[in-house]
Amino acid sequence: MQRGAAPAKSRLATKRLVLRPTRLADARRAFEIQTDWEVTRMLRMAAWPPDPVALAGWFADHARERATGEAFRFAILAEGRMIGLVDVDEIAAGEGDRRRWSASPSSKSAWRGSARDTPPTTRPRARC
């Protein structure tokens, strides 16, 4: 895919999970999830404690990043509720880094489903 081109299909679904492009409204749920230190401590660039204004600004920029091909960010939904995010960012020369974060298993907001539905926790390069 050329930089600036959107993926052909922007919504993916399994029996239990849905991936869809992030929306500004997802910032509130992301803030709830990131108030769990067990989640946020694993994130490369997240602030602690989380800043709801900064998160809203980051989510507001996702549409621009998608339009320019800089990054593709998807909300992970279970039973209609956002439980995390997966993205491909730092895209250059047709490749980018894939990252994922989700609610901690011990969290009240966690989804307790099958590992088959969730992406692996490794960070391979992704072809775009």
pLDDT value of position 49: 87
Which tokens belong to 128? 């775009």
Give the angle subtended at the CA of 67 by the CAs of 63 and 73, to the nearest 5°.
50
DSSP string for 17-53: EEEEE--TTHHHHHHHHHTSHHHHTT-SS--SS--HH
Domains of the chain: 16-127 (3.40.630.30)
Query: What is the rounded CA–CA span in Å between residue 59 and residue 22?
Result: 7
Looking at per-residue pLDDT, the higher value among 115 and 31 belongs to: 31
pLDDT value of position 5: 55
Stated pTM of the model: 0.74
Looking at per-residue pLDDT, the higher value among 24 and 90 belongs to: 24
**Averaged pLDDT, 101-126:** 51
Which of helix, strand or coil describes residue 102?
Answer: strand
Sheet holding 17-21, edge to edge: 12-13, 17-21, 72-78, 81-92, 95-102, 125-127
Stretch among 7-11, 17-21, 50-54 having the lowest mean pLDDT: 7-11
- Per-residue pLDDT reduced to its tens digit, 78-113: 999 999 999 888 898 888 888 887 886 655 544 444
Average pLDDT, the chain: 78
DSSP designation for 15: S
Looking at per-residue pLDDT, the higher value among 61 and 118 belongs to: 61
